[in-house]
Structure 1
Amino acid sequence: MTRRRFADLRTALAGLDSLPGELVRVREEVPARFGVSSRYARWAGTPAPPPTGPGPAVLFERVRPPSGKPGAVLMGLYGTRARAAALLGLTPAEMSHRLLEAVAAPLPPVRVWDAAPWDRSPRPVDLGQLPIPVLTEEDAGPYLTLGAVLATDPDTGVRNLSIHRMCVRGPDLLTIWMVPGRDLDAAHRAAIRRGRTLPVAIHLGLGPAVLLSSCCPSALVPPGLDELAVAGALGGGPVELLPCRTVAGEYIAHAELVLEGELLADRMPENPDGPHATPEFLGYQGRAHPLLPVVRITGIHARSGAVLQAVSGPGYEQSVLLGFGMEAAVLGRLRRLGAPVRAVHCPTAGGGQLMVVVQWEEKRSPAEDALVPEACATVLEEFRMAKLVVAVDADVDPESEADLWWAMTTRLQADHDLLVLPDREGFPLDPSQSPACSPALSAEGRTAKAVFDCTVAFAQRARFRRPRFTAGMPASPPVPLPPGAPPLR
């Protein structure tokens, strides 16, 4: 893929269309209930259950909703790190640095007034007419899995754009799960204190810079910083906003589908009929919440031929979206500590959050032997989601699972290089973070954390030299792939 940034989802898909193997179009009609998820499962990637692996973005052109006409659903656009970064004209190794630059020099959005360039038209306020996928037979119902919610805090005036799981509970009703204390929850509580509802715009189908910025953790994009300003800097131009039609809010002009509505004070069960919600990004079936806030939809409008973008809970895509922001946040923190860190990688096996690989520059003194575990322990203490940190040297590829296991096998002695931090605040979606799995844990959502120091001691560097093969030899001709084989990643 050429080094070109794509401003919206349409241009991103057009760019992929010209690249063999990057975008698959499914033209047969499939049902929204299980039809999308069952076909995409083979490409979802770990932590989806095997057999699965990295694959193309998949555009289902005719997905049949419970009522209404078939519509398009996109899965897997960010299903590989290379493709996700390339949509912004970057390589995966450049993403952390570019995100840190965007946070340091944000570009605020701009208000525009003419919606005509986006060819938008109103839709009936009936969620049953949208091709919202149901992923498994245990799901509570159709879920918006990549719905990016834009709202403004009535106390601070600061916008927030964030992705939340939302379950369809009626023609105009959604339940929404918000992490307590995060920006959208704070804005909702501020509106309730004022005796008001909170106007929201839910976007389905956004440009890469906007969607990736909405997934950044608060450790990277702190409260008070507008995610849309980060997206503007990341995408190379300000995000354009239009006034909502039915609520006192605004929406992102290039979005494929927009659901306008109000976040109410009312609450209802996420699943009144059972214990499950929808699959979570760590690979397990999600648990339904007994009571969640409710969004009442007041208006729906869409671009002509709108594409509804969704994600399949566990899989590479959600891990990639979460991982880039986590990597930038950890890299920035370690650099502020003065640690000589070359790169940070959050593997998809850890959901892009729970496992962190830190690649160190070549050690310059014996003092850095102690600095490595100390700095890694800081990551575990300051980033609640982080559960495991693996430290490697500059000669180890942090994105290669084989290289990581090789380094762990040949450079780690468990009695010396393994540091355990017991009973720390963790993340309850990991089912092992429970006293039922370890009596040493004091409560649900607590966990033991660990640093695996796979770096070579300064004094022992001569014992661990990897071979260097002669450069300058002519390249071997590529081995042809069999017909229909997926492209190499």
Structure 2
Amino acid sequence: MTRRSPADLRTVLAGLDLMPGQLVRVREEVPARFGVSGHYAKWAGAPAPPPTGPGPAVMYERVTPSGAGAEARAVLMGLYGTRRRAAALLGTTPARLPHQLLDAVAAPVPPVRAREGREPARVVLPPDLTALPVPVLTDEDAGPYLTLGAVLATDPETGVRNLSIHRMCVQGPDLLTLWMVPGRDLEAAYRSALRAGCPLPVAIHLGLGPAVLLSSCCPTSLVPTGLDELAVAGALGGAPVELARCRTVDAEYVADAEYVLEGELLPDLAPENLRGTAATPEFLGYQGRAHPALPTVRITGITARDGAILQAVSGPGHEQSVLLGFGMEAAVLGRLREWDAPVKSVHCHTAGGGQLMVVLQWFHKRSAADDEVVRKASESVLEDFRMAKMVVSVDEDVDLESDEDLWWAMTTRMQADRDVVVLPDREGFPLDPTQSTAYSPALSADGRTAKVVFDCTVPHAQRDRFHRPRFTPAGSARPTRP
């Protein structure tokens, strides 16, 4: 078990307040519609459109909701806007966090029922989503979106609990549409409920501690079906996650969440956007396309902590990519360990949304045989991980967190005619607009892609020709003889 990390969002923010430049508080009133997203854009980071760059967490203390007469409430953006800050919230570094995630998956700590009187006090709010400061990001959007809403549900057939984040659009005061990426565990629970002829009770959380939120973003390749994400969070955070019972539905919720929206995932379908084709900006940097028919959630109750903070993300930007990337890194690292490949670190770059671009760092090659091991293992990552589109392999003297060092390695340690491997027409991810037959007739169907390995590792036989100088710190050099 790792050392205990802050359990709830408020403890995290109190710590950031003491660190210069890490948390900006905006005290003037801004509207939820375009105001939050427009102000935060300069700090969102790529793939948000320029000019932008990764910046601080930003607390908007007075955000006015869309509902008439609704009071201003707080919205938090950018808490996980840099890899260094995101890892530090869990008391670790970007290089160590994937290893700790693997340890947490191997030794999960199940959640527990919150002891009476210990859970944070909650106030009951009217079940009216228009009274909450849910941001609208662009004028094309289908409406206000819960961009960081973590849905907790239990499969009625298997009894397996699942916590995962999904795109949810506010369609009315008590109605959401919810898009489940096909194959996710929530979809399996939803289909179980449909077979039973019942709606699926859910608790939607807005504002969670870092261990819980990061665990909810982990892919199935890391946290397989049957393993509770809350148990992973307990191991990652160093203490069991505490749960309580919902008031209006037969479901549980994380006791220290800022907002909890209680509801039922219904069999009824509704269009995501009645006025156009756009949804909301996606994590790869392009405007999302609205779905013609999505499951709906009927909100039956809302509770909140006093002075609750609604946490959200900008569609494109560093934050979503960071949250997605760490789980993917751990999954890739675990797979390469199974193959006994000499991998040192994995970095899922934010330029690929934390999924499409994978940088592999390899230990020092022991023999010429390792040249082939690195090449084959790099290709196997592309074959085994559908989302991965590009692998860049580098040696252990390259700084994975430095884009300049990565480009330097690609420039001076790669020859395109021998070090670039293309895998044509593989299963891909259709949110990348190049992955379509309209872009490339060589693809057999939309959602397929050509994948590529850039092998920027030094051949073992030529390692002496690629020696980087090491500068001696002043005062530590041995004196020269006269």
TM category (shorter chain) comes to over 0.9
CA distance in 2, matches of 1:370, 1:473: 43
What amino acid is aligned across from residue 105 of structure 2 in structure 1?
Answer: V
How far the C-alpha of 1:93 sits from its partner, in A, is 1.0
Whether 1:145 aligns to 2:147 is yes
Aligned mate of 1:372, from 367, 371, 374: 374
What amino acid is aligned across from residue 459 of structure 1 in structure 2?
Answer: A
Give the secondary-structure state (helix, strand or coil) at the position aligned to 1:265.
strand
The residue number in structure 2 matching 1:451 is 453
Give the secondary-structure state (helix, strand or coil) at the position aligned to 1:63.
strand
What amino acid is aligned across from residue 139 of structure 1 in structure 2?
Answer: D
The residue number in structure 2 matching 1:61 is 61
Post-superposition CA distance 1:409-439 (Å, at most 9, x none): 1111111011110000000000000111111
What amino acid is aligned across from residue 376 of structure 1 in structure 2?
Answer: S
How far the C-alpha of 1:302 sits from its partner, in A, is 0.2
Q: How does 1:19-58 map to 2 (within 5 A)?
A: 19-58=19-58
- Contact 2:155 / 2:189 at 8 angstroms: preserved in 1? yes
- Contact 2:119 / 2:255 at 8 angstroms: preserved in 1? no
How far the C-alpha of 1:117 sits from its partner, in A, is 3.8
How far the C-alpha of 1:116 sits from its partner, in A, is 6.3
Q: How does 1:207-226 map to 2 (within 5 A)?
A: 207-226=209-228
CA distance in 2, matches of 1:160, 1:322: 17
Post-superposition CA distance 1:434-480 (Å, at most 9, x none): 11111110111000000000001000101111111113548xxxxxx
Q: How does 1:95-110 map to 2 (within 5 A)?
A: 95-110=97-112
CA distance in 2, matches of 1:123, 1:114: 21
The residue number in structure 2 matching 1:5 is 5
Post-superposition CA distance 1:386-423 (Å, at most 9, x none): 00000000111112111111111111111101111000
The change in CA–CA distance for 1:117 and 1:194 in structure 2 (over 3 A counts) is closer
The residue number in structure 2 matching 1:201 is 203
- Contact 2:357 / 2:390 at 8 angstroms: preserved in 1? yes
CA distance in 2, matches of 1:42, 1:127: 28
**May I ask how many residue pairs the two structures share in their alignment?**
472
The residue number in structure 1 matching 2:399 is 397
What amino acid is aligned across from residue 301 of structure 2 in structure 1?
Answer: G
- Contact 1:113 / 1:243 at 8 angstroms: preserved in 2? no
- Contact 2:4 / 2:238 at 8 angstroms: preserved in 1? no
Moved more, 69-78 or 104-113: 104-113
CA distance in 1, matches of 2:148, 2:236: 20
The residue number in structure 1 matching 2:480 is none
CA distance in 1, matches of 2:118, 2:332: 42
Give the secondary-structure state (helix, strand or coil) at the position aligned to 2:373.
helix
What amino acid is aligned across from residue 91 of structure 2 in structure 1?
Answer: G
The residue number in structure 2 matching 1:486 is none
CA distance in 2, matches of 1:122, 1:325: 34
What amino acid is aligned across from residue 56 of structure 1 in structure 2?
Answer: P
Give the secondary-structure state (helix, strand or coil) at the position aligned to 1:313.
coil
The residue number in structure 2 matching 1:15 is 15
CA RMSD of superposed structures (Å): 1.0
Give the secondary-structure state (helix, strand or coil) at the position aligned to 1:146.
coil
Q: How does 1:454-469 map to 2 (within 5 A)?
A: 454-469=456-471
- Contact 2:4 / 2:237 at 8 angstroms: preserved in 1? no
Over the matched positions of the two proteins, sequence identity in percent amounts to 75
Give the secondary-structure state (helix, strand or coil) at the position aligned to 1:89.
coil
The residue number in structure 2 matching 1:264 is 266
- Contact 1:64 / 1:71 at 8 angstroms: preserved in 2? yes
CA distance in 2, matches of 1:181, 1:417: 35
Post-superposition CA distance 1:116-140 (Å, at most 9, x none): 6411010011100000000000000
What amino acid is aligned across from residue 391 of structure 2 in structure 1?
Answer: V
Moved more, 395-404 or 223-232: 395-404
CA distance in 1, matches of 2:55, 2:403: 18
Q: TM-score scaled by structure 2? A: 0.97
The residue number in structure 2 matching 1:161 is 163
The residue number in structure 1 matching 2:298 is 296
Question: Which 5+ residue runs of structure 2 have no aligned equivalent?
Answer: 477-482
CA distance in 2, matches of 1:442, 1:274: 29
CA distance in 1, matches of 2:475, 2:225: 53
Structure 1 stretches of at least 4 aligned residues deviating more than 2 Å after TM superposition: 112-117, 471-474
